[in-house]
């Protein structure tokens, strides 16, 4: 549904987005992950026709966003929840959107209800909204036109844990009904549980992409045994690289492989699991390490 091909944006000598390509399929949630300043927002602005790319193409359903008639009726976009006129009420912001898209005012009330903004809060000016409420308002604005595609930049920013859980459910439901979701985040934990697919970007370039499941497993296997010495030796003999970690031994192999080696060596295991999100976190930091700002510190 979303197709990005060799997309590049240069500002003078700075390459903000460097030749990125990926596809987002209908029925999936794709997380666009990267540290601050990695080029996520620039890429999403190019996708939605707000920033002209230096080269490459970005299409949604086979067409450039700027060529879509009444695009908000097909693609829901929220690029910056803070970019709202502070003097408008929440309801007024949605009314303007509804008027442009051509949906009735009743749709505004439905959406306010859907994103959990009460009638009382909707009457207040956006100036008085917390970041979390602005995110909910922005999401309501994206959903106004009953789109089949959602493009959201850092939608979980400023949401409390309940809010994050709520948004996760909403996006999962949207995707399970055939919708396409692309959301960006700089926090791995936020997207790992929501996204089916991940695209990891660091300093403008894609450093890894694939199913979340696979990237999680790529983090390695945590294995523990009372007889750690024998286990370590057996793994080494099987050419499996290991390292010590607080949780136990981390083997760079799949759990089934590690289990087989342990069985053959006759070692009883007390723990065997993929490193999960923490492993992905390590992978994420490692993949973006030479691209992150705090290189020296990391």
Partner 1 sequence: MTTLNDRPAHRDAGSAELPQVAGVPFHRLLRVEVRKCVDTRAGRWLLVVIAAATVLVLAATLVWGELADLEYGAMFLTATLPLLVLLPVLGIMTATAEWAHRTGLATFAYEPRRGRVVLAKALAAVVLAACLVAVAAAASAVTLLVDTVVHDSSPDWSTDGAAVGGVLLTLAIYTVQGVGFGLLLRSTPLAIVATFVIPTVWTFAGSLVEWMRDVQPWLDLGLVTEPLTEGRMTGEDWTHLATSVAVWLLLPAAVGTWRVLRGEVK
Binding site for partner 1 (CB under 8 A): 1, 26-27, 45, 48-52, 60-63, 65-66, 68-75, 77, 79-80, 82-88, 92, 96-97, 99-104, 106-107, 110, 114, 141, 143, 146-149, 174, 177-179
* Cβ 48 to partner 1 shortest distance, Å: 6
Q: Which residue, 49 or 255, is less far from partner 1 as judged by CB? A: 49
* Cβ 244 to partner 1 shortest distance, Å: 45
Q: Which residue, 63 or 293, is less far from partner 1 as judged by CB? A: 63
Q: Which residue, 179 or 248, is less far from partner 1 as judged by CB? A: 179
* Cβ 175 to partner 1 shortest distance, Å: 9
Q: Which residue, 113 or 290, is less far from partner 1 as judged by CB? A: 113
* Cβ 26 to partner 1 shortest distance, Å: 5
Q: Which residues contact 296 (CB under 8 A, 6 or more apart)?
A: none
H or E segment and range at residue 16: strand 14-24
Q: Which residue, 49 or 189, is less far from partner 1 as judged by CB? A: 49
* Cβ 131 to partner 1 shortest distance, Å: 15
**CA dist., res. 229 & res. 223, Å (int):** 12
Q: Which residue, 11 or 296, is less far from partner 1 as judged by CB? A: 11
Task: Tell me the sheet residues that pair with 31.
Answer: 183, 198
* Cβ 28 to partner 1 shortest distance, Å: 9
Reduce the secondary structure of the chain to three states and give it as a string: CEEEEEEEEEECCEEEEEEEEEEECCCCEEEEECCCCCCHHHHHHHHCCCCCCCEEEEEECCECHHHCCCHHHCEEEECCCCCCCCCCEHHHHHHHHHHHHCCCHHHHHHHHHHCCCCHHHHCCEHHHCCHHHHHHHHHHHHHCCCCCEEEECCCCCCCCHHHHHHHHHHHHHHHHCCCEEEEEECCHHHHHCCCCEEEEEECCEEEEEEEHHHHHHCCCEEEEECCHHHHHHHHHHCCCCEEEECCEEEECCCHHHHHHHHHHHCCCEEEEEECHHHHHHHHHHHHHHCCCCCCCCC
User: How far are the Cα atoms of 172, 232, 234, 263 from residue 250, in angstroms, in the given order?
Assistant: 32, 10, 14, 17
* Cβ 141 to partner 1 shortest distance, Å: 7
Q: Which residue, 23 or 230, is less far from partner 1 as judged by CB? A: 23
* Cβ 146 to partner 1 shortest distance, Å: 5
Q: Which residue, 88 or 224, is less far from partner 1 as judged by CB? A: 88
């Amino acid at each position: 549904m979303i197709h990005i091909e060799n997309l590049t944006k240069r500002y003078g000598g700075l390459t903000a987005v460097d030749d990125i390509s990926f596809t987002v399929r209908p029925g999936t949630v794709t997380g666009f992950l990267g540290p601050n300043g990695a080029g996520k927002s620039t890429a999403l602005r190019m996708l939605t026709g707000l920033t002209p790319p230096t080269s490459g193409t970005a299409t949604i359903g086979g067409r450039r966003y700027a060529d879509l008639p009444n695009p908000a009726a097909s693609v829901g976009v929220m690029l910056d929840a803070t970019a709202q006129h502070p003097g408008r009420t929440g309801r007024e912001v949605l009314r303007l959107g509804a008027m442009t898209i051509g949906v009735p005012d009743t749709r505004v009330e439905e959406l306010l209800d859907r994103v959990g903004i009460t009638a009382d809060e909707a009457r207040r000016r956006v100036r008085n909204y917390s970041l979390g409420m602005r995110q909910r308002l922005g999401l309501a604005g994206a959903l106004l036109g009953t789109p089949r595609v959602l493009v959201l930049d850092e939608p979980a920013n400023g949401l409390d844990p309940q809010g994050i859980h709520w948004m996760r459910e909403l996006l999962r439901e949207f995707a399970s009904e055939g919708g396409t979701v692309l959301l960006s985040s700089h926090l791995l934990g936020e997207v790992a549980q929501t996204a089916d697919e991940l695209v990891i970007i660091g300093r403008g370039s894609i450093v890894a992409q694939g199913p979340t499941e696979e990237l999680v497993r790529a983090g390695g296997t945590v294995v523990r045994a009372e007889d750690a010495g024998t286990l370590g030796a057996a793994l080494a003999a099987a050419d499996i690289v290991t390292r010590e970690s607080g949780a136990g031994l981390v083997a760079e192999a799949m759990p089934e492989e590690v289990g087989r080696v342990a069985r053959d060596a006759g070692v009883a295991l007390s723990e065997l699991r993929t490193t999960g999100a923490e492993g992905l976190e390590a992978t994420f930091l490692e993949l973006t390490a030479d691209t992150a700002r705090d290189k020296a510190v990391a």
